[in-house]
Amino acid sequence: MSLHFPGFSPFLILLMTLSMVTSMVSASPIEIVGHRGASAQAPENTLASIREGWKQGADAVEIDVWLTADKRVVLMHDQELKRTTGAPGLITQSTWAELRELDAGSWKGAIWAGEPLPLLEQALKTIPADKRMFVEIKSGVEIVPHVVPIIRDSGKAPSQIVIISFSQDVCAATKAELPEHVVLRLAGFKQNEDTGEFTPTIESLIEQAKAANLDGLNLSWKGPHTPESARLIKDAGLSFSIWTVNTPETAQEMAKLGAQTITTDHPGAIRGWLGEAPAAQAAE
């Protein structure tokens, strides 16, 4: 396509074209996802952290969920309770009656003392009308029949709830039950010290995602990311998301590669790292 502006020099035409391209790019900002809420500032996977994420202008927040012994879906990252509650045992071997009495905030600071573990349905209620929530399923496929009705009964639009998991089986089962929802395959990478090669490969992840009719890949920033790998993902019709980015340099690098969403512990700061106005200011 060529542009013609009678009376303008070729140099001015070039400047105007670059300006138009820049404007089009800036019109599609990267989606900022608060990792476990705004977990740098508040105790992860609690309603306090989720609300802090919304307060900081996150476009979405990410949470982790497990299935309890009595089939409730509860927010927590670790299977073991100790790190964030100080209690012994496993979340999968505990009942909701036991878990609801735990303090999931004091480990982060006295100001958060008494902050409880929330249920998935409580977390979903916090989603503002123009925001999304990324629900990472930590349990196996046994949790899917319990997650699906909670999502369906949440009153949120399908576009507002994204399912993510490291498990191919969980992703496939969830997509089959909730085809109208975005489901993303999570992956981290290991690098061979001798050859420098990464596993899994981007090609294998694309193949698996396509086989299960998934919508995209949500990948660790510590991986084999190049313009070519990003192009392969997008040419396959998949979205390209990155986790967990906590430095300006990495944020800018992933943005240049074309990441559509970036998950971070610092949702309030990352827009400045990317040269964007904070969401609250941009809306004014």
Lowest mean pLDDT among 16-25, 177-186, 270-279: 16-25
Inter-residue contact 237 to 227 (CB < 8 Å): no
| 238 vs 218: CA distance, rounded Å | 10
Q: Domain residues of the chain, as ranges?
A: 29-282
Instruction: Say if residue 25's pLDDT is above 80.
Output: no
Give the residue-averaged pLDDT of 80-86: 98
Phi and psi for 12 in degrees, rounded to 5? -65, -35
Rg for the chain, CA atoms, rounded? 21
- Would the pTM of this model clear 0.85, i.e. be above it? yes
| 270 vs 263: CA distance, rounded Å | 10
What's the confidence (pLDDT) of residue 28? 54
Lowest mean pLDDT among 14-23, 77-86, 159-168: 14-23
Q: In whole numbers, what is the pLDDT of the chain averaged over residues?
A: 91
Task: Classify domain 29-282 at the CATH superfamily level.
Answer: Phosphatidylinositol (PI) phosphodiesterase (3.20.20.190)
Instruction: Say if residue 196's pLDDT is above 90.
Output: yes
- pLDDT tens figures, 175-190: 999 999 999 999 999 9
